[in-house]
Amino acid sequence: MKRTIEIIWVILVILTTFAYVIGYLKYINTSLVAILLLTTFIKAQLVIEYFMDLKNVKLKYRLIPLVWLSVTISLIAVAYYLPIST
Amino acid sequence: MSKSITVKEKYPPGDFAIWIIIYVELITFALLFLGYAFSRRGDVELFNESQLMLSQTSGFINTFILITSSYFVVKAVKSIKSMTQENYKEFNLKASKWLLFAIMCGVAFLIIKITEFSHIFGEGINLSTNKFFMFYILLTGFHFMHVLLGSVILFNIYQKTKVFGYLPNDYSGFETGASYWHMVDLLWIILFPLIYIIR
């Protein structure tokens, strides 16, 4: 598609604006943390695939940042969702 | 009707050494992100209260700026990849135009960040104020240095495009600098919601 990069940019801006509005309104609850982490994952993956242009390279080179991103976001989720013992 | 066939490249774009650096940087920042997230569990209230002192608007504007600068860099790379022996001068100039926009975005990011830092430091906050601000200053300060270095790299590439220094079979250095810049953008995309938004 000719306008792929423009579409990716628009998606990134929309998801960033969504996160900002949620944060600005101080309307963060438990399920929104998960949604924000998911949108962060999507944005980062779009940058890796389309901006860093890894979508057309061999799988092993795509897997390194994908694994990095998945592990990082998952562990952040664990830190936020794991019950805190008092 | 012509069919487009996507051929898988053997290696990521640019010099392979930059990818080793990128992977190391990603791991380093991931450790800092996780250090922040797990330290927060020790005093959630303190982290939430401290976070309210940050300007989410400047964080948002900076995210927008970095995303847009990355877009400009992609356009510059596309221009450089489209050149042939006949039109390489024209496409070097085209790429330089996109790079100039990207550099301007980088400088805008740095100015906004300096303003934010001067506000925070003006409030008497420093590395030892509390754990939240220790992580905030470490993460954003470390990232700031990367944006600064990335802007210098882009400026060097820009200067080379102005003298038509890239040729159809020789633009690996261009892609190397572009990959570094996208890494800087990628790190901020995680840093912004983690430090400024999620609570």
Over the stretch A15-68, which tens digit does the pLDDT of each residue have? Answer: 999 999 998 887 778 889 999 999 999 999 999 999 999 998 999 889 999 999
- Whole-angstrom Cα Rg for chain A: 15
> Could you give the count of Cα atoms lying within 13 Å of B112 in the half-sphere of its Cβ?
21
Single-letter code of the amino acid located at B179: S
What the block records as the tokens of B185 is: 């953008």
To probe the interface with A, which of B185, B197, B199 has the most A CB atoms within 10 Å? B197
Do B197 and A20 touch, CB atoms closer than 8 A? Answer: yes
Q: Which of residues 122-141 of B touch A (CB under 8 A)?
A: none
Q: Identify residues of A whose CB sits under 8 angstroms from chain B CBs.
A: 5-6, 8-9, 12-13, 16-17, 19-20, 22-24, 28, 33, 36-37, 39-40, 43-44, 47-48, 50-54, 56-58, 61, 64-65, 68, 71-73, 75-76, 79-80, 82, 84
In angstroms, the CA B124 to CA A21 distance is 29
In angstroms, the CA B60 to CA A17 distance is 7
pLDDT tier, A83 (very low <50, low <70, confident <90, very high otherwise) = confident
To probe the interface with B, which of A1, A4, A12, A73 has the most B CB atoms within 10 Å? A12
Residue B6 has pLDDT above 70, yes or no: no
Question: Residue B89 to residues B85, B103, B190: CA-CA distances in angstroms?
Answer: 9, 21, 38
Paired with B9 in beta bridges are A57
Q: Is the ipTM of this complex over 0.90?
A: yes
Helices (H) and strands (E) counted in chain A, each on its own, are: 3, 0
Say which of A12, A13, A44 has its CB closest to residue B190.
A44
Stretch B162-167: mean pLDDT: 94
Alpha-carbon distance B190 to nearest alpha carbon in chain A (angstroms): 6
Tell me phi and psi for residue A57, to 5 degrees. Answer: -100, 170
Q: What is the reported pTM? A: 0.93
Residue B101, chain A, CB below 8 Å: the answer is no
In angstroms, the CA B6 to CA A61 distance is 17
